[in-house]
Chain A
Amino acid sequence: MDYPLQLTVNGVAVKRIVEPQIRLLDFLREDLGLTGSKEGCGTGDCGACTVLIDDEPHHSCLTLAVEAEGAAVTTVEGLVTDDKLNEVQSAFVSAGATQCGICTPGFVVMATAYLRDNPNPTDDELRMGVAGNLCRCTGYDTIMTALHSVIDGKVELIEVAPEPQELVPEPEGEL
């Protein structure tokens, strides 16, 4: 059976017909082509599929698309504003907090929401706060470094696709 679905995704209104067994994760990835959200487990145990639903972090793998009716969904693709990575994204790049990158989208979505709600956590609170996001590559070390740099307000926002600089000027005259 097909159901009409209306929601906004990254600020854009979306209208589609979906079958009820389609999870929000499938809908984002297959119907909208937003493959930034990943499926690491499908059971809510790894956090790679984390998206914001009405500003709160949820597992898109445990959410039926039809249950997101009327919601505002933000995926990792929606975190960039004015051609700049957000603080958490920028900090991840600078600190080397992304290795293979598969956990990164869910991790930055989760950490963005967590630090918005808890701007000044202790290291232990921070670790508990993001414990639902597994990373197999980094051992979390550089991720913690990145998130602490956000907490300490030491992040320089990184520009997406910056203009390249000229390497070396041509010498005057003909050689």
Chain B
Amino acid sequence: MRRFDYAAPTQIFEACALLADRGDDARALAGGTDLIVQMRERGRKVPLIVSLRNLEGFKGISQNADGALTIGAMASGNEVHHSPLVQKHAYFISEGAELLGSIQIRNRGTLGGNVGNAAPSADAAPPLVAAHATASIVGKQGTREVPVGDLMVGPGQLALEPGELIQSFTVPAQPAHTGTRYVRHVPRREMDIAVVGIAALVSLEDDLATIKEASVVLSAVAPTWPHATTAEQTLRGQQISEKLLADAGEAAAADSRPISDVRASAEYRRMMVDVYTRRALATAIERAKTAV
């Protein structure tokens, strides 16, 4: 790996200032499971690494007075995966976190890093988008809240100013009868990158047979983590049926904008969006029916 400078400030403003001053020459280091690989294997040159490990206020998972959940950006994949709070609040965030590589990766890799790396194939970010989570962004100018769905503008690109950092995510309280599911397609069961990932959130009416609200977010089949908006429209207000799920699957496939790469062809990806949207919705609905 190329030589670089390193700082591990204890103050947020210090970290922001370092990153702002050095601009493209600096990168924030959370777990490093993506960044270190990029620097070593792909020769990415980063003259300054600013480690976030000593910063206060980036860790922990807690429930707020309004029922919303706050997850620190430096919470590790394993913390998020195993958190009873997360599992109770929005199970698919736990499911997405569980898919970050192996146990070793999940001990290092963080939720903030998974979002911040801005890979279209991220597994932990799409559930946040589907759950309408917001990110608390800190910078020299102070703090602002941004919907996670608006954060990513393209592969590797976030809508952040130089010197801005993701400090935490806030996941709003979900309505009654809500179920969630994150599922992905990979050739192996572990240690793979999503070929297709589907985050589904479904809220049912009290009759448990009508869909009140549905959120379907796609991974690895578009430059960002978009909502499958046609699929969501197809579902809203409708009675649950096999045909409805099949229609939603087809709609999501049409909503996707996949590319062909070494992992799969665009054509196959589109077919898998259909299949896995159907499957994710079916599980989310089952969970919604038993949710309190």
Which residues on A are within 8 Å of B, measured CB to CB? Answer: 1, 3, 19-21, 23, 42-45, 47, 50, 53, 56-59, 61-64, 66-67, 69, 110, 113-114, 128-129, 131-133
Q: Mark B76-108, 1 if CB is under 8 A from A, else 0.
A: 001000000000000000000000011111011
Chain A residues lying within 8 Å of B243, measured Cβ to Cβ, are: none
CA distance A120 to B89 in the complex (A): 27
Say if the beta carbon of B6 comes within 8 Å of chain A: yes
Contact status A43-B37, CB under 8 Å: yes
Report chain B residues within 8 Å CB of A64: 6, 29, 32, 36, 49, 51
Apart from A58-B108, A66-B8, A133-B102, what 20 extra A-B contacts exist at CB < 8 Å? A1-B5, A3-B6, A20-B3, A20-B6, A42-B37, A57-B103, A59-B108, A61-B36, A62-B31, A62-B32, A62-B37, A64-B29, A67-B8, A67-B29, A67-B51, A67-B53, A110-B103, A128-B190, A131-B102, A132-B191
Q: Chain B contacts of A59 at CB under 8 A?
A: 33, 104-105, 108
In whole Å, how far is A129's beta carbon from the nearest beta carbon of chain B?
Answer: 7
Asked whether, in the complex, the Cβ of A63 is within 8 Å of the Cβ of B32, the reply is: yes
Interface residue tally on B, bucketed by range? 20 to 34
Q: Which of B4, B102, B189 has the most CB of A within 10 A?
A: B102
Please report the C-alpha to C-alpha distance between residue A66 and residue B107 in the assembled complex, in whole angstroms.
Answer: 17
Interface pair A114/B103, CB less than 8 Å apart: yes
Q: Which residues of B contact A56 (CB under 8 A)?
A: 78, 107
Identify which of A23, A62, A110, A128 gathers the most chain B CB atoms within 10 Å of its CB: A62
Check A58 against B37 for contact (C-beta < 8 Å).
Answer: no
Contacting residues, chain B, for A23 (C-beta < 8 A)? 1, 36
- For A128, the chain B residues whose CB sits under 8 A away are 189-190
A residues less than 8 Å from B3 (CB atoms): 19-21
In the complex, chain A residues whose CB is within 8 Å of the CB of B36: 23, 61-62, 64
Ranked 3 nearest A-B pairs via Cβ: A132-B102, A20-B6, A131-B190
State A110–B191 Cα separation when bound (angstroms): 15
Q: Known A44-B33, A62-B36; judge A20-B5 contact (CB<8 A).
A: yes
> Chain A: which residue is nearest B31 at the CB level?
A62
A19 to B189: give the CA distance in the assembly, Å: 37
